[in-house]
Structure 1
Amino acid sequence: MTVAWWQRLSIRRHNKAPHRARPVVPGMVSAPGDGAIAIGGSAETVVGGHGNTVVVLQAGTGERVVGAASLDDLDASCRIRMVERWHAAGVSAAVAAELADTPQVGALLDAVTALPEHGVVVLEGAFGAGKSLAAERQHQRDIAAARADAQAPIPVRLAAQDVQGSLIDAATRAAAVLGDPAVRGVRLIVDGLEEPGPIRGKELLDQACSWTLSPAGARWHILATARPGLEVDEKLRRPMPELSADEAAALMDRLGGNGTAVHSQSGMVRSVLRQPLFVIIAAQIQRDHERLPNSPVAFLDALVTRALRDVESVKEERAERLLRRLAAVCVSAGGVGATADVGSPGEVQVLLETRLVVRRGDRHLAFALPVLEQYFAGQALLANGVLTDVVQSVELLDRWRYGLAMAIASSGWESARTVLDPLLRAHPGVVAWAVHEAIPQAEFEEEGPWPDLPADVVSQRLQETLDAWQAALSPAGDRIFFSMGRNGPVTVDAFLEGNRLGLHILRRDGDHTPGLAIPAAHRWTEPRGVRPVTALFGAAAVEYAAWPWQKTLKLVASRLHTMCARKDFDLADCDAYTKERLWLAAADLMRLPSRRFTPLRAEDVHQLLHHHLYGEPGSLPVRSGFGTRFTGYQAELLRIEEELARGRWADADGLLHSPYAVPDQELIRPRYWVWDAYSPEQLRLRTEQVLTAAVEIYTALVDTWFPHLKPVLGLASAVPTALIGDLYTAPPGGKDAYEPPGLRLSLYPSPSSSVTVRLVPSKDALYEPVPATARGSRPTRSPWARPSTPVLSEPEIFGDAPATDYAYAWLHEDLHRLHLTERGPRTIRTGLP
């Protein structure tokens, strides 16, 4: 969105000459008030307005347009959606129609619209940025191109939340009404990629990318919209342009506000006004001579307040209760609510009069803006708490997650606790995701006014939330500070200066903590046993009452990131882990070079380990050895020594072997790559063995350290699943030839878990579509499970501990998707989608 398209507008203000309606289709009964505005198309569609209500009807039937029998119908539906959304934002029906009929409104810059002929582009921006409008304008251009050329790609628009199963299948069915997509190709719009949840959104995106890379998808172009936070490759991402202060002022002037006031606002308010939706709301607030709020949720509060105030038939409180009820129905049902589940015909009419709700056919309702559904879902949680059925169902939790984020963003301190406490005990991963989504990460430090919270209240709230995170994430949470030389409870000592937070984590000794008596300025000069464990300084989002949850989550996520990167979680009862660690420790003790697999005498290893443990304490690398492959805690070393003493893991000849298939090829060239030492079958066998062990280690990590996260962790929640690997190995080349093996991993829903790796004859076979399983044989799949679309990578199987590396990378990725680590693993491609 740029100043150019707003400056080209010629919008009549509501207090000037009334909008001249288009001719009404004969036979239609139009309501008085704003008049009826024809939309056109073979469906003969009109928009009727009365007060705050926009009614979209199809001539002769009273049904909303739901299909697309022609390009005219597609164009009409596109216009309907734009009118509904603008009117919900507070623009009159007449002006909304005029905006819809101005093609420049919402059109993107040439630099953004320079899209490739085929492939995938993701238009990314915060809610209110105009992504959906930009996508509608692109859809209109695609429709116009198809009108001008009968062989042009077929235009299709889908809402991501409505897509069940394969995105490509859904788009193909929609396109087939207008032509042959296999011949003409498709120009597909996928709106709201994040709305069905980030996991499902990622799956739809992976399907789109995989399809456009295949020969069959070569003539497809897919434009998707998404909020920030979805996993999107940088090559696909196009950031939605934000409004400058001048652009926001120009838009506000045209909507009846005072544009000159934009420049005098604080930096916080100006940051919100970079999104067109909030400028529209701001114009309404200015007409009421009220102060502009400083957060997106506060702007939504203002929008809703004005919408409810204008409902004449009932009191505002009743209308709000009905909106909360509709939101609960829509969220649970996937975006559309049956009128019978909402209330009586009179109550349905009240909802329509708010202008925030629109009809979907005769029997269904929906919110005109998806963010309003999420807003009122959050209000329902704050008013009624989290229903037991939602807490007990990961499917319902997935649908309610954005509503939960809205509840956290708009709640007070006590109301946030009421909502979060039951969920935190049952599903801490869901709460972590919602807290991260709800509260902004970047804050302005010099502005205010800020709430005046005493230091003891700040410390108490941070202590309470830190304790809650650690308890909910136990037993891993109990070890968050262990690697920093502290195992046990800690005390938070914190203060606020404006919105700048100073936080120290101190050791706790019963009810008495000596560290608290040390002046903050002197703490880091104290001896290590007294100085703080860690500290955190910087701005806090204190205008959000739930900010302590975010700050302590950030602290926890930082520590869990370090623990995953260092592989800090010991596993005493996992054979796959023990075998790999034992071989690694033995090879390091015996100074066996890396990637050498000569069997070792178990007795020699045991004697050397025993000598290091009891004869020369501290000489064995225990968690700090530089240049060593094996680092571990004392407890693990003692366990390995005991098992070696009992003769476990040695063969009949008393030898210890590498746990995986070893090289079987004679290398005669002076230069070679590591995979050249394996025949194709031996490489396949080693890959299968490593992946099998990795799944076992990953499962043990989750069961042992993160049991409360299991239902919502990507791989753990996919179980049972079949992990299928397609492996390609290139024929031997010259001494400088570099063509590593290629591995494509797919996750299939399966009645039982298994790992299979198979050789494929060509590199092209790695790009072939994955055969679909029979619909009747598919078990129920969790919405939190990792996507099924296969991902290509090099097999990372040649390291000293490849299965442990894979398992930790998968766990690290799964935790990061819940925002329980501050960053993902360093490994760029871990094989799994």
Structure 2
Amino acid sequence: MGADVPPASRTPLRHAPPTKSTIKELYATALACGIPGCGEPLYRENPVTGQRLLNSRIAHIHARSQGGPRWDPAMGEQDNRSFGNLILLCERHASEIDATPDDYPADRLRAWKEQQIETRSRAVGLALSDAEVAQAAAVSFTMDDLTERLSAIVPFTPRLRSREEGLDLALRSCRARSRVRLRSTPADRVRAVLVWMAEHAGPVAAVPEGSLRVLVAPMGAGKSEEAERWWSQGLTQAWADPEIDIPLWLEAREITSTLAQAVQDALGNDPVRTCRVVVDNLDAVSPREADQLLCDARQLVLVWPRVSVLVTTRPGAGRVEDNERLPVPPWSSQRGLELLRTVLGEDHARIPERHETRQLLTSPLQVHALAGRLRAGGDTQISARELLSGLAADILQRERPQALTEVWQALPRLAARILNQHGPVQASSFAPQHLVWELEKTGLVVHDGDLLRFALPLFEQHFAAQSLREGHTPLESAAAPQSFPDWRYAIAFVVAAAPDEEAEAFMRTLTHTNPAAASWVLDEIATAHEGRHLSPAAPAGKASADSDDPQQVPAVARRLRDATLSWLAGLESLGPLLARHEQGRLIPWAVQLGHDWLTVAQARPGVLDEDLVAWPDLASLPNPLTRFHHRTSFPAPHGRLACWERARSELRQALADRMRQRTLPVAPTSPLAAERAWFLARQIMAKGQYSRVGQHIRLSDLQTELDTLKEQSATYVRASWQWGAGRKIDSADVHWLSTHLHHVQGDTLASPRPPADRTSPPPRFFWQTYSLALTRSITADVLRDALIGYRDLVEVNFPRFGAALGLYSVFPIRVEGLVVVPPDESQPQPATVTYALRPDATSGPQDRPAVDLRLSDESGFPEESLWAKVREDRSTAFRLPGMTQQEALLPYHDRQATNLAYRWLARDLQAVGWLERAVTFSD
């Protein structure tokens, strides 16, 4: 019979305490229960002052039966429902009437109502003192009291909250979600990161009313952040407009009924007004449940056309229509770097400059994980290998994907397939459909358009390393010239984690397969504590064990020679140019170990009978050059793989000397051979007076000079000559030029570049002796010859390095550029050339490179358009697309094509550790 307190009567009690007049009115109206003879007060504790109004119940006068309310036919609907037709009852009678409504007809209740009105009229004249009113106000009708009583008798519904409370709760929930996402961020940097995210936010996702949209992106791409911004925009609108519902944020796994029911439960009513709904992490439920939730969302926006729904999911969870899909674009590396600096609290955050580490900046998940690793490792003290391996482990530990054994076995195979074919794998050719589904469920793999790829590229290296460890992929295959750039971190993971003896075996395989791979891995696995030191202190007892018997070859010397031989085997024909050989073999060594210093001497022919001999007094031997070519002492390399570093150090020093001299062998038909021949011949014939030499040199005259020089040097191991301010040449140059002349056609040796074509009027500056057309022509020829020469250097001297050399990895190449002519020829600034080396899909590997140079006064080829083209070029593992600006390549200096080719090669060799520092050229 009783009814709950109606909302209209509930609201005033929630928001303001009753006034004195209200208390007096209640006191006069409800001294006792309205039923005659009851006398039980409505207020349990103190009937005089009228405490605890909530102990009473309000009952409609009309009775209820099984068929619902029984209306008094003499009264209209409005009168039946009016407050004047209600009666206050004590709890005992209210419960009794509720239990047996048929025993209390409307006539009887109306009589009781009349009696209660009469009681009220008599009580109106009673006066309450101010003290009694204050006492009632202090103990009655408080917010806490009302909330407690309502909670006890009414099930909770969001409608019990005021709008202000709902808005405040939504705001606090938004902040909480943002902070939870940043739980790995140091507490003192969370606020700064939130401010940065607000300042650098892009356009908010567009979801029209009555529409469903789905943000689809792999793990860690920032889907929830994008949805949060859209949701927050709706919250801002709700604060400003009371006709807009507070937006809802629902987790997919927490929706146990239909989406419509979840929305109604969260709102407390039907979504008749404008309302934004986010369903986050759709991929957290099964594919069948995901499909059902998407169908629910489509129905919801049709039934309630002012509702808009935004769902977030990884690819593969639920069937999303094309018109519903909202892809989340990857972050630019610059944006990721700015966030990284904000998290670290540094203006200049430093990370190893690698292709993979730049990829870490393209998603917020990876940026935050990267920041954590950098803080733990002390920024620059952490290598790219440590970053990548640690991040993969951290993210896998956080995600903890649940999968069948069959799935875990498939992940290394998938990584190997992706790396071998340089891209995603066709799902239908990789595994049965049920296994593809299971791979998707892990969240580690993305299945999109029948292609499988990993959600994060660093997973490729993580699971590829597992493929190497388990023997599914041979190390020789991964380190091959074309494969190594894709496999390099997987290889580094394996070598770094291997025991010492196994790591030595890996290095032997790598040096024989690809010396570039071995060198790069050797640098990458050097720990922050060991750095580049080739000779850390020997372990206790190590030096004494090696030096107990002076006649016995120290073990460290054997390891060092073995490492040297391994490097030389991988370098093939280049090896004998970097280390002395006799009859195709590395010359014997005499060695001595003392006080943890190793002395190595390279024996002359006939001095030693064996390849490696202990020589007790080698360090103090008088006149060592009578028996040895060279003798050197250094701290014995006892650290992990230290012998490999020491051996490489000796070889790359010899390589750097060859690079500076620009004397690496090339075929006689190479443009670099032509430039070297002309450079040497001009030095010999001019003898410091270059005006004596024109554009041609007679071969007979040159050969005569060469014969004289060879006679002069016949009794010397090495001889050199220099005329005036000319450049020095040595006996090796003389012998090379004499041999090269056998490949020259005709009777003369010609300059590889044409002469100047402007002599009248006499120019003020040398560069002005060349016309614009000739300037462009010579510059194009030099660039073309440099590319051909670079290719010749690589293919003759570094055949196993392959794609590990950055420029070579993008061959065939074309040159595009702009020759900029000074507008005022009275100024001393020469013409300059800006050019880019770009992949050329229209040419073959051995074709002459195309060169497209325009003059700055020609239309249709502005520098901005060239930059736009360069930005479209794909980065490779060891090369970033870019542009170069320098003086136009006229014959101001000798060997310009040679210098360019060696400059490009030096940059590539330094990237894989075969040059310790950049090599500069003096001409």
Instruction: Sort the TM-score into its range (normalised by shorter chain).
Output: 0.5 to 0.7
Counterpart-to-counterpart distance in 2, 1:660 and 1:677? 14
Structure 1 residue 473: deviation in Å?
Answer: 0.9
Counterpart-to-counterpart distance in 1, 2:329 and 2:668? 63
Structure 1 residue 605: deviation in Å?
Answer: 3.4
Equivalent position to 1:60, from 257, 273, 294: 294
Counterpart-to-counterpart distance in 2, 1:496 and 1:28? 71
Counterpart-to-counterpart distance in 2, 1:322 and 1:43? 38
Counterpart-to-counterpart distance in 2, 1:427 and 1:483? 21
Deviations 1:474-533 (CA, angstroms, capped at 9, x unpaired): 21122213599x993354969899xxx855553256653687314576479844744855
Residues 401 and 443 in structure 2, CA contact (< 8 A), matched pair in contact too: no
Counterpart-to-counterpart distance in 2, 1:104 and 1:56? 33
Residues 434 and 389 from structure 1, CA distance in 2 versus in 1: closer, same or farther, beyond 3 angstroms?
A: closer
Q: Secondary structure at the match of 1:506?
A: strand
Residues 416 and 324 from structure 1, CA distance in 2 versus in 1: closer, same or farther, beyond 3 angstroms?
A: farther
Aligned to 2:571: 473
Structure 1 residue 435: deviation in Å?
Answer: 3.1
Residues 439 and 550 in structure 1, CA contact (< 8 A), matched pair in contact too: no
Aligned to 2:897: 803
Residues 58 and 64 in structure 1, CA contact (< 8 A), matched pair in contact too: no
1:566 aligned onto 2:801: no
Deviations 1:331-355 (CA, angstroms, capped at 9, x unpaired): 45667677777878997898799x8
Structure 1 residue 767: deviation in Å?
Answer: 0.8
Larger RCO of the pair (alpha carbons < 8 Å, separation 6+): 1
Counterpart-to-counterpart distance in 2, 1:352 and 1:451? 52
Counterpart-to-counterpart distance in 1, 2:504 and 2:636? 24
Equivalent position to 1:404, from 481, 491, 515: 491
Q: Secondary structure at the match of 1:824?
A: coil
Residues 42 and 334 from structure 1, CA distance in 2 versus in 1: closer, same or farther, beyond 3 angstroms?
A: farther
RMSD over aligned Cα atoms: 6.1
Aligned to 1:791: 884
Counterpart-to-counterpart distance in 1, 2:432 and 2:440? 13
The AA in structure 1 aligned to 2:781 is: Q
1:44 aligned onto 2:136: no
Residues 668 and 743 in structure 2, CA contact (< 8 A), matched pair in contact too: no
Aligned to 1:816: 910
Equivalent position to 1:328, from 407, 411, 416: 416
1:769 aligned onto 2:865: yes
1:5 aligned onto 2:5: no
Residues 329 and 341 in structure 1, CA contact (< 8 A), matched pair in contact too: no
Residues 392 and 458 in structure 2, CA contact (< 8 A), matched pair in contact too: no
1:488 aligned onto 2:586: yes
Aligned to 1:124: 351
Residues 405 and 438 in structure 1, CA contact (< 8 A), matched pair in contact too: yes
Aligned to 1:685: 777
Aligned to 2:676: 581
Q: After superposing the two structures, state which structure 1 stretch, 572-581 or 125-134, moved more.
A: 125-134
Residues 692 and 64 from structure 1, CA distance in 2 versus in 1: closer, same or farther, beyond 3 angstroms?
A: same
Deviations 1:299-343 (CA, angstroms, capped at 9, x unpaired): 6798699789x888878xx88645534543554566767777787
The AA in structure 2 aligned to 1:805 is: N
Aligned to 2:797: 705
Structure 2 gaps, min length 5: 1-184, 195-227, 232-246, 257-261, 267-274, 296-310, 547-553
Q: Secondary structure at the match of 1:753?
A: coil
Counterpart-to-counterpart distance in 1, 2:380 and 2:740? 65
Deviations 1:653-697 (CA, angstroms, capped at 9, x unpaired): xx554221112222766x944312211222233323333443443
Q: Secondary structure at the match of 1:44?
A: strand
Q: Secondary structure at the match of 1:475?
A: helix
Residues 24 and 347 from structure 1, CA distance in 2 versus in 1: closer, same or farther, beyond 3 angstroms?
A: farther
Structure 1 residue 577: deviation in Å?
Answer: 4.0
Structure 1 residue 71: deviation in Å?
Answer: 14
Equivalent position to 2:855, from 760, 764, 771: 760
Equivalent position to 1:662, from 723, 747, 755: 755
Q: Secondary structure at the match of 2:829?
A: coil
Deviations 1:693-723 (CA, angstroms, capped at 9, x unpaired): 4344334333332233345444445444444
Deviations 1:114-167 (CA, angstroms, capped at 9, x unpaired): xxxxxxxx9735899998887656x9xxxxxxxxxxxxxxxxxxxxxxxxxxxx
Residues 447 and 60 from structure 1, CA distance in 2 versus in 1: closer, same or farther, beyond 3 angstroms?
A: farther
Aligned to 1:512: 610
Q: Secondary structure at the match of 1:800?
A: coil
The AA in structure 1 aligned to 2:655 is: L
Structure 1 residue 438: deviation in Å?
Answer: 3.0
1:694 aligned onto 2:789: no
The AA in structure 2 aligned to 1:410 is: A
Deviations 1:343-369 (CA, angstroms, capped at 9, x unpaired): 78997898799x893666798876666
Residues 471 and 478 in structure 1, CA contact (< 8 A), matched pair in contact too: no
Q: Describe how 1:367-378 pairs up with structure 2 within 5 A.
A: 370-378=457-465
Q: Secondary structure at the match of 1:582?
A: helix
Residues 667 and 334 from structure 1, CA distance in 2 versus in 1: closer, same or farther, beyond 3 angstroms?
A: same
Structure 1 residue 733: deviation in Å?
Answer: 1.9
1:730 aligned onto 2:822: yes
Residues 342 and 600 from structure 1, CA distance in 2 versus in 1: closer, same or farther, beyond 3 angstroms?
A: closer
Identity of aligned residues (%): 18
Residues 378 and 403 in structure 1, CA contact (< 8 A), matched pair in contact too: yes
Residues 382 and 419 in structure 1, CA contact (< 8 A), matched pair in contact too: no
Q: Secondary structure at the match of 2:705?
A: helix
Structure 1 residue 726: deviation in Å?
Answer: 3.8
Q: Which has the higher helix share?
A: 2
Equivalent position to 1:443, from 527, 530, 555: 530
Q: Secondary structure at the match of 1:708?
A: coil
Structure 1 residue 564: deviation in Å?
Answer: 0.9
Equivalent position to 2:471, from 360, 365, 384: 384
Q: Secondary structure at the match of 1:60?
A: helix
Counterpart-to-counterpart distance in 2, 1:537 and 1:385? 40
The AA in structure 2 aligned to 1:112 is: D
Counterpart-to-counterpart distance in 1, 2:888 and 2:485? 32
Counterpart-to-counterpart distance in 1, 2:735 and 2:501? 48
Deviations 1:165-201 (CA, angstroms, capped at 9, x unpaired): xxxxxxxxxxxxxxxxxxxxxxxxxx89xxxxxxxxx
Residues 502 and 529 from structure 1, CA distance in 2 versus in 1: closer, same or farther, beyond 3 angstroms?
A: same
Q: Describe how 1:103-252 pairs up with structure 2 within 5 A.
A: 107-108=342-343, 112=347, 124-125=351-352
Counterpart-to-counterpart distance in 2, 1:634 and 1:302? 58
Residues 636 and 760 from structure 1, CA distance in 2 versus in 1: closer, same or farther, beyond 3 angstroms?
A: same
Counterpart-to-counterpart distance in 2, 1:421 and 1:524? 37
Deviations 1:58-82 (CA, angstroms, capped at 9, x unpaired): 952798356999999688999xxx9
Residues 592 and 615 in structure 2, CA contact (< 8 A), matched pair in contact too: no
Residues 809 and 825 in structure 1, CA contact (< 8 A), matched pair in contact too: yes
Q: Secondary structure at the match of 2:601?
A: strand
Q: Secondary structure at the match of 1:569?
A: coil
Counterpart-to-counterpart distance in 2, 1:699 and 1:76? 38
Deviations 1:216-266 (CA, angstroms, capped at 9, x unpaired): xxxxxxxxx999xxxxxxxxxxxx89867xxx6xxxxxxxxxxxxxxxxxx
Deviations 1:590-648 (CA, angstroms, capped at 9, x unpaired): 3254588524454443333322322575899945759765555535524544776x895
Residues 490 and 568 from structure 1, CA distance in 2 versus in 1: closer, same or farther, beyond 3 angstroms?
A: farther
Counterpart-to-counterpart distance in 2, 1:627 and 1:333? 58
Counterpart-to-counterpart distance in 1, 2:529 and 2:579? 26
Q: After superposing the two structures, state which structure 1 stretch, 390-399 or 469-478, moved more.
A: 390-399
Q: Describe how 1:523-542 pairs up with structure 2 within 5 A.
A: 526-527=624-625, 529-530=627-628, 533-534=631-632, 536-537=634-635, 542=640
Deviations 1:516-573 (CA, angstroms, capped at 9, x unpaired): 314576479844744855555498763xxx5544443344333322221222324462
